[in-house]
Structure 1
Amino acid sequence: MKLWRNIYLLISSLLSLSCSVSPPQGVQAVENFSLDRYLGTWYEIARLDNRFERGLEHITATYVRNPDGSVKVINQGFSATQQQWRRSIGKAKFIDSPNRAALKVSFFWPFYGGYHVIALDPEYRYALVAGPSRNYLWLLSRTTKLENEETTSLLKIARELNFPVDKLIWVNQG
């Protein structure tokens, strides 16, 4: 009986983790979003530390539309300590409307995490992306560098939304 209870608790915990796709409280995804304009390669300028990117530099995220309407996500970064490239391929789906930049992403089915574009340049040159909690934040750009004005603007938004911007890791894109 105790074994079944433990199995039930484990399965319940895993399923609850797979459902953490909502944005943090008070954080809204961009409306009037165009996936076609967002597709392609983005350079990671800065991020909050997370275990799946720890120690990586030259990080990119590439988004490609799949035939079924979902999005293929290809994350890649270079590990200087291991002297090798690391790559993860996942799949993203819109949570609600494709006009709202709120997606759920899975790199290991059936587990999904939230991916929310919370600020986006009108020309789709740079973006601020949040995960399901304030422990996940990325500054992305179509180029390997952001201008000071653009960086300041994104940091201001993140700060106003109570993200710990003082803990951002600035990615070597050299």
Structure 2
Amino acid sequence: MKTLRALLRTLLIVAGLSGLAACSVAPPEGVVPVTGFEADRYLGRWYEIARLDHSFERGMTDVHATYRRLENGGIEVVNRGYDPARQAWKEAVGHALFLGDPGTASLKVSFFGPFYGGYHVVELDRDAYRWALVAGPSRDYLWILARERSIDDDVRDRLTARAKALGFDTAALIWVDQRQSAEPAQ
């Protein structure tokens, strides 16, 4: 876990310094976060169904995030995943703040200090909050999340088509194995 935190800290410092130069936690051009967003309905556990590859989750399976409201109005973010190479669970804890109106699903997330990355829900199951398509501050970051460990093929196809229409490289999506059953209690 210390290795993951050290790696994340280094990556976020580099990303943060780059971000300061670019001043961007905003979504990529042409990517619009959903409005009418209800943060309290979004809280709880979300399983990572697919992602674009990036170093801080590389090789991990059974990745999920848990969101919890903080007293200051922000949101605690607990990301967990299983590293099969090390046969160990890894965890990173951070916090998120809305970039503006909490009714717009556009947040900045930090796992270390003052360095933030963008988190933008760009497609959402508005009826039951069962699935979401989330973009980062560039087209290098994309996640498909769901309340269950898998999604129906029609939802998968819809979200993949939407991501492609927004300019993301959907051929590069990694479909996350969600079969690990021996997760320790949080």
Fold in common (TM above 0.5):
yes
* 1:66-87 deviation digits (Å, cap 9, x = unpaired): 0000000000000000010000
Q: Rate the CA distance shift 1:125–1:17 in 2: closer, same or farther, 3 A.
A: farther
Residue equivalent to 2:8: none
Instruction: Please list every run of 5 or more consecutive structure 1 residues that lacks an aligned counterpart in the other structure.
Output: 1-9
TM-superposed deviation, 1:13: 4.1
Residue equivalent to 2:25: 21
Residue equivalent to 1:167: 172
Maintained 8 Å contact 2:60/2:83: yes
TM-superposed deviation, 1:138: 0.1
* 1:79-111 deviation digits (Å, cap 9, x = unpaired): 000010000000000000000000000001110
Q: Give the alignment of 1:1-174 within 5 angstroms.
A: 13=17, 16=20, 19-122=23-126, 123-174=128-179
Q: Rate the CA distance shift 1:18–1:60 in 2: closer, same or farther, 3 A.
A: farther
Cα separation, 2, equivalents of 1:52 and 1:157: 25
TM-superposed deviation, 1:18: 8.6
Aligned residue-pair number: 164
* 1:119-144 deviation digits (Å, cap 9, x = unpaired): 00111000000000000000000000
Letter in 2 for 1:86: K
Cα separation, 2, equivalents of 1:109 and 1:17: 17
Letter in 2 for 1:66: L
Maintained 8 Å contact 1:20/1:112: no
Residue equivalent to 1:4: none
Cα separation, 2, equivalents of 1:43 and 1:17: 32
Residue equivalent to 2:4: none
Query: Does the residue aligned with 1:133 lie in a helix, a strand or coil?
Result: coil
Cα separation, 2, equivalents of 1:69 and 1:131: 21
Query: Does the residue aligned with 2:33 lie in a helix, a strand or coil?
Result: coil
RMSD: 1.6
TM-superposed deviation, 1:19: 3.9
TM-score, with length taken from structure 2 = 0.85
Q: Rate the CA distance shift 1:154–1:91 in 2: closer, same or farther, 3 A.
A: same
TM-score, with length taken from structure 1 = 0.91
Q: Rate the CA distance shift 1:69–1:160 in 2: closer, same or farther, 3 A.
A: same
Query: Does the residue aligned with 1:61 lie in a helix, a strand or coil?
Result: strand
Maintained 8 Å contact 2:51/2:174: yes
TM-superposed deviation, 1:15: 6.2
Instruction: Please list every run of 5 or more consecutive structure 2 residues that lacks an aligned counterpart in the other structure.
Output: 1-13, 180-186
Query: Does the residue aligned with 2:102 lie in a helix, a strand or coil?
Result: coil
